[in-house]
Structures are given as structure tokens and as C-alpha cells.
Amino acid sequence: MSTTLRVLTTEQKQQFENEGYLVIKGLFSEEQLVEIDTTFEDISHQTIPGYFEPKLDADVTDPLSRYPRVMHPHRFNDVAMKYMLHQPVMDILADLYEEEALAAQSMFYYKPPGSRGQALHQDNFYLKVDPGNCIAAWTAVDAANEENGGLLVVPKTQDYDIVCPEQADSKESFTTHFVKPPKEQKAIPAVMDRGDVLFFNGNLIHGSYRNKTKDKFRKAFICHYANASATSISKHYKPLYRANGEIAEYVGDNPDGGPCGEEFDNFYPH
């Protein structure tokens, strides 16, 4: 029997269970979004080895060379840690899991004009949360749509097995993996306003468009979580954090090589 606080309606829970994703409007306030904007604008002018390594001075044709994604900013920045553990997000996750959620990863995407998208993929291929699954909380720091590289989701693929990906089109995707959706399912845009949060299941097939605009960034703060009853996860995502900031020491390393075998075990695109 769940003892978690119910914050979602029955319809919202059914949407997540039936479709594999759910958008919650306005979960971050404008004041909080300004703090996130300011923090990552400052980070964008630095080099932080292992986490953010832009080509600050080079004349590059790929906008993502100047503005790559920031990996695990919660490991070096207090604001990122604070918003990875944002209480409204943690409450919704606890409701979706019907148990406590553990924070595993944070990322920040700048996605400047002209940036390639990200090919369709499944998050739990990388996180390897077991037993259970990861859930992503994808926060639109800028409005996200089909023009500026918003997210694509393939509804009802949350029950689709984790599969070994194919090679992605490098002209369109900055990552190398591509998961082909079932032929009866199509990717649809998740159109979001600034401050909205998209929650989605770790098996759900999703990706993003190229940013086709000339002058609009599509910034996003993205975190991944595990259910508290999980006993293992890929070692790259440890340590995991409880909502109060304590480390969940009991979660071990998942040694499973996944559907591709051991040669993919150390692949770490997220």
C-alpha cells in the first residue's frame, strides 16, 4: 500500500500509465527559471573538465561544439543540485512511482540555433535501473516546439522492450544511437511552454528535432530518477540522492550488459 502524497489526478496518472508520458504545466516559477538561466549562462563561459568542455574560441560550424550539453551539473553546482531535487518534481515522481524517488542524473541542454537533434532512443538502455525503471523530468527552460528543436515522444512505447539501437544519422543527430519505433507507432511533438515539465518512462522511445530557427535557443534542464526499491543502476549514475539530499548508499552497480551485450556496457551518451 502506497503511503506517498497524492499530487496527481486520476486522469494524469492514467495518462502516464497509458501513454508513457505526462506534461505538467508551470511546475517551475519564473523566479526559479531566471535562477536556472543565470546559473547556466555563467557556466557557458567556462570549461569544467569532464562535465562541460566547449570550444570557446574556435570558429566552429557545429553550434554544439560551442554549446555542448552540461553533464551532471549537480556534481559541481549547488543550483543544479537544488533543482534536481525540486520538491514539486520529487512529489510527482513519488506519485508516479508510488514510492520514494531517487535522483540519479542532471543535464542542461543549450541547443542553440542550427543544432542537430537527438535520434530516438530509450533512457533505461543507459541507466539500467533494476528492478523498476527510470523516469525523466524534462524541464522546458525555453518554450519548446517543432521549430526550435522540441522533444518528440512515441506514445504507448513505455511497455516496449529495451532494444539494441541502430546507427543514427549523424547529419541530424548529435548522438549515435537510434531506436526504430514499432511500425504502428509514430513520434509526435511534445509542445511545451517555459516552466513546463515532461515526465516520461525509461522505456518510452523519444528524441528531438533539429533547431531550425536562426535566433532561438531551446534550453532544457533534464534529470533522471530511479524508484527507491531499485537495487542496482549503471555505475555512471551513482551516487543517487534522496529528496532531502542524503545519498542512497544501498543501490549497487548493475553489471548487466543489456540487449547489446558487454561491449556496450561502458557506453555513456547521457
Domain boundaries, the chain: 10-44+65-262
pLDDT > 80? residue 3: no
- Nearest one of 200, 165, 167 to 181, comparing CA atoms: 165
Please check whether residue 130 is in contact with residue 251, taking contact to mean a CB–CB distance below 8 angstroms: no
- Average pLDDT along the chain: 94
- The whole-number pLDDT of residue 265 equals 47
The grid coordinates of residue 51 equal 562535465
Which pLDDT band holds residue 51 (cuts at 50, 70, 90)?
A: very high
pLDDT > 60? residue 270: no
* pLDDT tens digits, one per residue of 119-139: 999 999 999 999 999 999 999
- The whole-number pLDDT of residue 57 equals 76
Q: Which residues contact 149 (CB under 8 A, 6 or more apart)?
A: 111, 115, 117, 208, 209, 210, 211, 212, 218
- The whole-number pLDDT of residue 261 equals 80
Higher-confidence residue: 263 or 210? 210
The grid coordinates of residue 38 equal 543565470
Please check whether residue 31 is in contact with residue 83, taking contact to mean a CB–CB distance below 8 angstroms: no
- Nearest one of 119, 132, 116, 110 to 224, comparing CA atoms: 132
pTM: 0.94
* 3-state DSSP percent of the chain in helix, strand and coil, to 5: 25, 25, 55
Instruction: Give the other-Cβ count within 10 Å of 265's Cβ.
Output: 16
- The whole-number pLDDT of residue 109 equals 98
CATH code, 10-44+65-262: 2.60.120.620
Query: How do beta strands 177-178 and 232-233 pair?
Result: unpaired
- Nearest one of 120, 107, 94 to 203, comparing CA atoms: 120
pLDDT > 70? residue 86: yes
Mean pLDDT throughout 16-39?
Answer: 98
- The whole-number pLDDT of residue 262 equals 62
pLDDT > 60? residue 160: yes
What gap in Å lies between CA 15 and CA 10, rounded to an integer? 9
pLDDT > 60? residue 264: no
Mean pLDDT throughout 69-80?
Answer: 98
Q: How many Å separate Cα 150 from the centre of its chain?
A: 13
- The whole-number pLDDT of residue 56 equals 87
